[in-house]
Each structure stands twice: as C-alpha cells, then as structure tokens.
Amino acid sequence: MNKKKAKVIFKHNSFEIVEAGDHVLCAVSGREIKLENLNYWNVDLQEAYYSPIEVKKKIKDLK
C-alpha cells in the first residue's frame, strides 16, 4: 500500500477528506496518524493531534 498524506477539513464533530490519503501528520510531534485512528484535532487551527498528550502540549504552548 502506498502511503499518502490526506488533506482534510476539520469540523466540530467530524472531518471532510478533500484529497484522498491514508494519514495526516500531528501538528505537534509530526507523527503519522492513520485516518481511522484520527480522534483529536483543532477546528480553529485546522490541526490534527496524535493523542491527548499533544493536545495538552499545544494548549500550553498557546498560552
């Protein structure tokens, strides 16, 4: 299977795939997140996060 980064639009309770792919990158760690495992994102910043740990770090960095 070819790995390809997807382009998505993050919405409040879902995300829309704009360009097909199998993963996105975490905005904090740079780790690949398979679309089927994507659970954390920021609608306002349009960023994905690997886990709650990265979410917490991002919030801390924004303060």
What pLDDT, on the 0 to 100 scale, is given for residue 10? 98
Q: What is the pLDDT of residue 1?
A: 54
d(CA 1, CA 13): 29
Average pLDDT over residues 38-43: 98
Number of domains composing the chain = 1
Residues 3-40 have pLDDT tens digits of 899 999 999 999 999 999 999 999 999 999 999 999 99
Whether pLDDT at 42 is above 60:
yes
Q: Which domain holds residue 36?
A: 7-62
In a domain? residue 50: yes
Does some domain include residue 34?
A: yes
Averaged pLDDT, 44-59: 97
Spatial distance between the Cα atoms of 22 and 7, rounded to a whole number of angstroms: 10
Domain assignment present for residue 2? The answer is no
Establish if 53 belongs to a structural domain. Answer: yes
